[in-house]
């Protein structure tokens, strides 16, 4: 097929934070192969952007993350593309299409996709199809936009790159080759391969989570994480509180890394051993079997962080996201593996446009896990081979946590404030967070457990000068980055600009984080603290109510003293409520019209004097 496809190539570039955009890009790659087109699917930062002027056809798939920011793996690409000295017609030979993945509950819905689409046009590129804007909030999920957009895309691509003479699109009913070849090794083969393997950044062939070697490379990063241990794992909510929240301290000694307030700690999680064992037992896998991967497709690289060779147990515990909700392609591929007509019919239905509502009700709304789906399709499960597990199950993604400490107050350590995720759906078993549940199970006595971590710089950036007043709005675990800033500022000086915190939780007596630290600072005049405990009285009180009660004080700080304002917390209703209250304050205290207040607020955002960090 590759020889017949010579000269028939397609470049697909993605910017992905959680993996969703990457999965869509890979889907485009699979669809290209069915049309005898050789795809090259890459993260934008893995592509040499200077070659873009020589490309004829490129498909871009990009997510928007944070408060209208580009994903980490397209930052370099995006920075280059925004250079003002690029000639206005440098991409005139390029035809392009852009598909954005976003969430309309955020103000800057699909902001990066819109900017990328516009920027490519500014540089002379020609659009192939209209901009696609997928929305997580749609009743049927992002596929409600993705499916019809892709249909139109392929119609246009086949006008440019027609099928070879005598060829037809390879039927989707034909089982595709797996992404990797898997070789089962004997003990002797395994030893030989182990001695040949690349040593990697830690001077080892593996970065397992139970590694006890203390060697670190010169630079800690995603590609070379630091293997940390937990120094302390303290529950900071009372035992009778509905939510288990932890203040977890990690050791950074000998890491050679530092951090600042607003930075984020990235953690590569593992699956719990009992969950991994359940998966292994159900599929009848041999946990001690050693395997070696090789490429099936030239454009699909081998996993960067997977040791070669490795055991099945390592894959299940540390690589595959077996507790994640399956992707749509999972059901398509599973339909090729079953020998049951009933299962095949149902799995194929899940991959039709008409079946999306049922798929959403069955899988996505209740957050059904991979293993739970496999248990519902036993005929398919018994035919799964190791090769196809790499296609069926996504790799575990790193998790991001706002840093809750100052390195000046906690030398060689970093702390996070983490809520252990656990909630009910209509399924029997509660849903749990992979990373939070795993971390909560660890404590300082488990010195043999090494946790891959690295620092991601400044999600929110605080003012550099100590004299600048700061207003921080942080309900719940949203107070984490503000605790970091408060510690940093109080370590640096006893005086400075006004430091104001609006903190909210359910109860003063059950989940009032850092009370023993903040009250003395308040008494010393180094912190102005407003609290809102929603369940301690009949009427619910939230941080936005406290803001409203202190509207003159807030306006004076922002308008007359030049305060910077920050918000961190859950992305559901709170951020928009706070925005509404702030604009009310601008109207009431600043005597602005609603239109002027909105413009004033947008100006604060543009000048970084209002920043927010929110999460679902």
Does 101 carry a binding-site annotation?
yes
Task: State yes or no: 401 annotated in a binding site.
Answer: yes
455 is in an annotated binding site: no
What's the distance, CA 465 to chain centroid? 31
434 is in an annotated binding site: yes
540 annotated ligand binder? yes
190 marked as part of a ligand binding site: no
H or E stretch covering 395: none
> Is 484 annotated as belonging to a binding site?
no
- Residue 308 is labelled as binding a ligand: no
* Torsion 553-534-566-480 (CA) sign: positive
Looking up tokens 């498909």 gives: 59
Whether residue 136 is annotated as binding a ligand: the answer is: yes
Residue 479 labelled as part of a binding site = no
Annotated binding residue 438: no
d(CA 565, CA 310): 49
Q: Does 102 belong to an annotated binding site? A: yes
Establish whether 400 is an annotated binding residue.
yes
> 66: annotated binding-site residue?
yes
Is 121 flagged in the annotation as binding? no
- Residues 50-85: b if buried by 16+ CB within 10 A, e if exposed: eebeebebbbbbbbbbbbbbbbbbbeebbeebeeee
367 labelled binding-site residue:
yes
| 104 belongs to an annotated ligand binding site | yes
Q: Would the annotation count 288 as a binding residue? A: no
Return d(Cα 159, Cα 163) in angstroms, integer: 9
What whole-number distance in Å separates Cα of residue 328 and Cα of residue 146?
12
Check the annotation: does 108 bind a ligand: yes
Output the DSSP codes for 177-221: PPSEEEEEEPHHHHHHHHHHS--TTTTSS---TT-------SS-S
107 is in an annotated binding site: yes
109 in a known ligand binding site? yes
Residue 63 known to bind ligand: yes
Closest residue by Cα to residue 402 from 221, 567, 579:
567
Does the annotation flag 225 for ligand binding? no
- Tell me if 114 is assigned to a ligand binding site: no
- Yes or no: say if 376 and 343 are a contact pair by the CB < 8 Å rule: no
103 belongs to an annotated ligand binding site? yes
CA-based nearest residue to 575, from 548, 611, 609: 611
Query: Is 106 among the annotated ligand-binding positions?
Result: yes
How far apart are alpha carbons 576 and 400 in whole angstroms? 23
Strand, helix or coil for residue 153: helix
Residue ranges of the annotated binding site for FAD are: 367, 399-402, 433-436, 615
Residue ranges of the annotated binding site for FMN are: 63-66, 101-110, 136
Residue ranges of the annotated binding site for NADP(+) are: 477, 534-535, 540-544, 577
Residue ranges of the annotated binding site are: 63-66, 101-110, 136, 367, 399-402, 433-436, 477, 534-535, 540-544, 577, 615
């Amino acid at each position: 097929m590759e020889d017949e496809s010579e000269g028939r190539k397609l470049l697909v570039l993605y910017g992905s934070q959680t993996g969703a955009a990457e999965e869509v890009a890979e889907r485009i790659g699979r669809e290209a192969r069915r049309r005898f087109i050789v795809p090259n699917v890459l993260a934008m930062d893995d592509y040499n952007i200077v070659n873009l002027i020589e490309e004829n056809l490129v498909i871009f798939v990009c997510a928007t993350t944070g408060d209208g920011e580009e994903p980490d793996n397209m930052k370099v690409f995006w920075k280059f593309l925004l250079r003002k000295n690029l000639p206005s017609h440098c991409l005139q030979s390029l035809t392009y299409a852009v598909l954005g993945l976003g969430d309309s509950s955020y103000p800057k819905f699909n902001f990066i996709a819109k900017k990328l689409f516009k920027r490519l046009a500014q540089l002379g590129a020609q659009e192939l199809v209209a901009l696609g804007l997928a929305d997580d909030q749609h009743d049927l999920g992002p596929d409600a936009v993705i499916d019809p957009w892709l249909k139109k895309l392929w119609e246009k691509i086949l006008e440019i790159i027609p099928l070879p003479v005598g060829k037809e699109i390879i039927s989707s009913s034909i089982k595709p080759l797996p992404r990797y070849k898997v070789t089962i090794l004997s003990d002797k083969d395994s030893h030989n391969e182990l001695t040949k393997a690349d040593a990697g950044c830690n001077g080892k062939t593996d970065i397992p989570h139970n590694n006890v070697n203390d060697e670190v490379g010169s630079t800690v990063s995603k590609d070379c994480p630091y293997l940390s241990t937990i120094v302390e794992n303290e529950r900071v909510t009372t035992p009778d509180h509905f939510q288990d929240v932890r203040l977890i301290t990690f050791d950074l000694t000998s890491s050679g890394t530092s951090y600042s307030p607003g930075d984020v700690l990235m953690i590569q999680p593992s699956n719990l051993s009992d969950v991994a064992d359940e998966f292994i037992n159900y599929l009848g896998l041999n946990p001690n079997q050693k395997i070696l991967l090789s490429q099936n497709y030239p454009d699909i690289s081998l996993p960067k962080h997977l040791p070669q060779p490795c055991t099945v147990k390592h894959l299940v515990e540390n690589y595959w996201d077996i507790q994640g909700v399956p992707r749509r392609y999972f059901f398509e591929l599973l339909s090729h593996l079953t020998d049951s007509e009933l299962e095949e019919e149902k799995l194929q239905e899940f991959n039709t446009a008409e079946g999306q509502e049922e798929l959403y009700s069955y899988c996505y709304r209740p957050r059904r896990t991979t293993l739970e789906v496999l248990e519902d399709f036993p005929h398919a499960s018994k035919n799964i081979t190791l090769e196809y597990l790499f296609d069926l199950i996504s790799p575990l993604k790193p998790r991001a946590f706002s840093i809750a400490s100052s390195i000046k107050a906690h030398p060689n350590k970093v702390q996070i404030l983490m809520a252990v995720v656990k909630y009910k759906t209509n399924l029997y078993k509660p849903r749990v967070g992979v990373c939070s549940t795993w971390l909560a199970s660890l404590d300082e006595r488990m010195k043999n457990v090494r946790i891959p971590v690295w620092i991601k710089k400044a999600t929110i950036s605080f003012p550099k000068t100590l004299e600048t007043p700061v207003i921080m709005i942080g309900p719940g675990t949203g107070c984490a980055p503000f605790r970091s800033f408060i510690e940093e500022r109080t370590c640096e000086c006893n005086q400075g600009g006004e430091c104001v915190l609006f903190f909210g939780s359910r109860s003063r007596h059950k989940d009032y984080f850092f009370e023993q630290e903040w009250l003395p600072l308040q008494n010393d005049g180094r912190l102005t603290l407003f609290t809102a405990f929603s369940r301690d009285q009949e009427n619910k009180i939230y941080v936005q109510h406290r803001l409203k009660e202190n509207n003159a004080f807030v306006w004076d700080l922002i308008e007359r003293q030049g305060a910077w304002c920050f918000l961190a917390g859950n992305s559901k209703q709170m951020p928009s409520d706070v925005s509404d209250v702030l604009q009310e304050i601008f109207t009431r205290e600043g005597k602005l019209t609603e239109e002027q207040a909105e413009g004033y607020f947008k100006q604060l955002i543009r000048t970084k004097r209002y920043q927010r960090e929110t999460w679902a």
